[in-house]
A and B are shown apart, each in its own frame.
Chain A
Amino acid sequence: MAFFLETLIGGLMAGMLYSLVALGFVLIYKASGVFNFAQGAMVLFAALAMARFSEWFNAALGGDSLLVANILAFIAAGGVMFVVAWVIERLALRNLVNQEGATLLMATLGITYVLEGVGQTIFGSEIYNIDVGMPKDPVMMFENVFEGGILINKEDFIAALVAACLVAALSIFFQKTSTGRALRAVADDHQAALSIGIPLNRIWVIVWCVAGVVALVAGIIWGSKLGVQFSLATVALRALPVVILGGLTSVPGAIIGGLIIGVGEKLSEVFLGPYVGGGIEIWFAYMLALVFLLFRPQGLFGEKIIDRV
């Protein structure tokens, strides 16, 4: 029982990390109808920027104040993501308005290559560490409830907390601020939003910025877990089943989808994996999402698809 719970909790926490990446997809899809394959590259780019800036600032400050260096690096990396968002909107998306979904998808794949190349040219292509002072040691919990207790990774726990805070902040931003309302208006109907005077181009820059910040947070958490390296870009592929399971247009969907996928992956790997040779995590997530899709083609929380001839 304790082992099962441990796996379950591990899965939930991994799921929160997937949700973070999935969130970036959903934000951009909602506001601009672009299925942003570059989200993984943005995570890599942001993590690279964060790792190197923190290294440089730390050296510049004499190495005695890691916290200040990290805060400065966070701000600098956020600035870099803003520039990236602005450039993408200016050079690519603005010229691709009204194209088909597949064309936009391919354009973001092109952007992926550019981001990967530029990121590695500017920031280098070795493996870097992000040290934001997250505790790495596991703790035992519920020792009085179960025999032996449950082993929980503190790092995962903090990551899950951060993710939860980010989601709360995003929902407040979307519901309560005027920019957030404008974003939702654009998501509902581009033309109607334009006609009441919402500047579409600026909104897109804002959305890509928000997605960039989400990517930055995801990059920091993933980066401090796994190290910042090229393979970070592939987390996008791990997050895709989360997005379609939760629905492309739903922020809560991304969270719940992430949790379901996280738990499903971990449980399947632990309890099913040994029978078939292991390594089934990645396709199991897709299969799980597929099964859900067969019953709800628009994802769990996606907008209902209405067919009109």
Chain B
Amino acid sequence: MIYRENGQFKTSYGADQQIFPIAQDRWAVIAIIAFAFVGVPLLADEYMFRAILIPFLILSLAALGVNLLVGYCGQITLGAGAFMAIGAYAAYNFLIRVDGMPLLAALLLGGLTSAAMGIIFGIPSLRVRGLYLAVATLAAQFFWDWAFLRIKWFTNDSSSGSVSVSNLDFFGWNVDAPAEKYLFCLGMLVVFGFLAKNLTRASIGRQWMAIRDMDVAAEVIGIRPMWAKLSAFAVSSFFVGVAGAMWGFVHLGSWEPAAFSVDRSFQLLFMVIIGGLGSIVGSFFGAAFIVVLPIFLNQFLPVLGRLVGISISTAAVSHAELIIFGALIVFFLIVEPHGLARLWATSKEKLRLWPFPH
């Protein structure tokens, strides 16, 4: 009834090709962004910011990057954690080794370094594909895990590979309160979200999708597989690298290589698959699901245990968390293999016809 595009006539090419062609979508997105910038900082408390909102924003950015590669270009990667680490450590090195390096420039340079490494570790994708490629990308993960632990130059000669960044200064704005960190991450995410959306609508995104759907056919119609695949690796690694730098700088403050272990890579891939492959909005859904679910289980299980009258030990809670998390993932994959984004699309379609379903 409300969600219907009747009467919205497109009178120019520009109007036809805008990002959100339906006016209701446009206004909803603007309202959500406005609420996130103005409403959320007034409502959320410090715990919300630290435990849920900031991790959600940063990991959505990383999931966006992974989705560009896995969902749009069809190259499965299990090495996203390594590129987060590269972004974080590169940004750290730029920040401490170059005098007067602004925060934003350090983050972006971290992303660019990660993109360069993404191109190098994307080269095997020209020869191998599918699951072989997934395992090949694990090489990046283990190599960089090792490198940041053993090569002291990267960590400025700290003994355990742990480094810390304090005093985040964004063009004179000192980002240190949780709400400020939240706003900073939100700003970055909005910019990068629109960038990703537009990339996938542009010719480069169409090339990626052609390669994903069938690379031989794409090659036949004149798409260069090397350029398309490596550009996907570069752009994806750039996003993931910036997210990694933000994870280290803004969320953790001080970190060690274990923060970007192979578990992080799996987590990012989970987000993309549960959220929906090849969907920008799906990355956000997936990130929200994976960030919130463990916290929810952690809080909810002991309460449930008290209700039934059994006290659960912490070890049992963590095991039960594992079981429920794993089972939910399998359940989700069975009921909706195309992810939460598909559920969202279906419900939008239903809303358009409501209340007359035919």
Contacts and interface: CB of A to CB of B under 8 A. Distances in A.
Does A associate with B in a complex? Answer: yes
Interface of A: 35, 91-92, 95-96, 99-103, 105-107, 109-118, 120-121, 125, 237, 240-241, 243-244, 248, 276-280, 282-283, 286-287, 289-290, 293-294, 297-299, 307-309
* Centre residue among A102, A118, A282, A308 by max chain B CB count within 10 A: A102
Interface in B49-100: 70, 76
Contacts of A308: 216
26 contacts: A96-B334, A102-B70, A102-B269, A102-B273, A105-B76, A107-B330, A109-B266, A110-B326, A110-B328, A113-B329, A114-B322, A114-B330, A115-B326, A117-B319, A117-B322, A125-B319, A240-B135, A244-B131, A244-B136, A286-B143, A293-B127, A294-B124, A294-B127, A297-B129, A297-B132, A298-B132
Contacts of A277: 150-151
A166 to B, nearest CB: 24
Contacts of B274: 106
Contacts of A290: 124, 136, 139
B217 interface: yes
B216 A110 contact: no
Contacts of B319: 116-118, 120-121, 125
Interface string B298-336: 000000000000000001100111110111111001100
A47 B264 CA distance: 27
Q: B136, B146, B220, B326: which has the most chain A beta carbons within 10 Å?
A: B326
A276 B150 contact: yes
A293 B124 contact: yes
B277 A280 contact: no
A121 B269 contact: no
B128 interface: yes
Interface of B: 70, 76, 124, 127-132, 134-136, 138-139, 142-143, 145-146, 149-151, 214, 216-217, 220, 262, 266, 269-270, 273-274, 277, 315-316, 319-323, 325-330, 333-334, 337
Query: Closest 9 A-B residue pairs measured CB to CB?
Result: A113-B326, A117-B322, A110-B329, A286-B139, A117-B323, A114-B326, A283-B142, A110-B330, A283-B143
Given A113-B322, A290-B139, A309-B214, A106 B333 contact: yes
B354 to A, nearest CB: 30
B163 to A, nearest CB: 18
Contacts of A118: 319, 323
B333 A237 contact: no
A117 B270 contact: no
Contact of A309 (B124, B217, B320, B337): B217
B323 A121 contact: yes
Nearest to B215: A307
B329 A107 contact: yes
A289 B327 CA distance: 32
A298 B243 CA distance: 33
Contacts of B129: 297
B257 to A, nearest CB: 12
A35 B328 CA distance: 20
A92 B337 CA distance: 12
Contacts of A117: 319-323, 326
Contact of A279 (B149, B216, B269, B327): B149
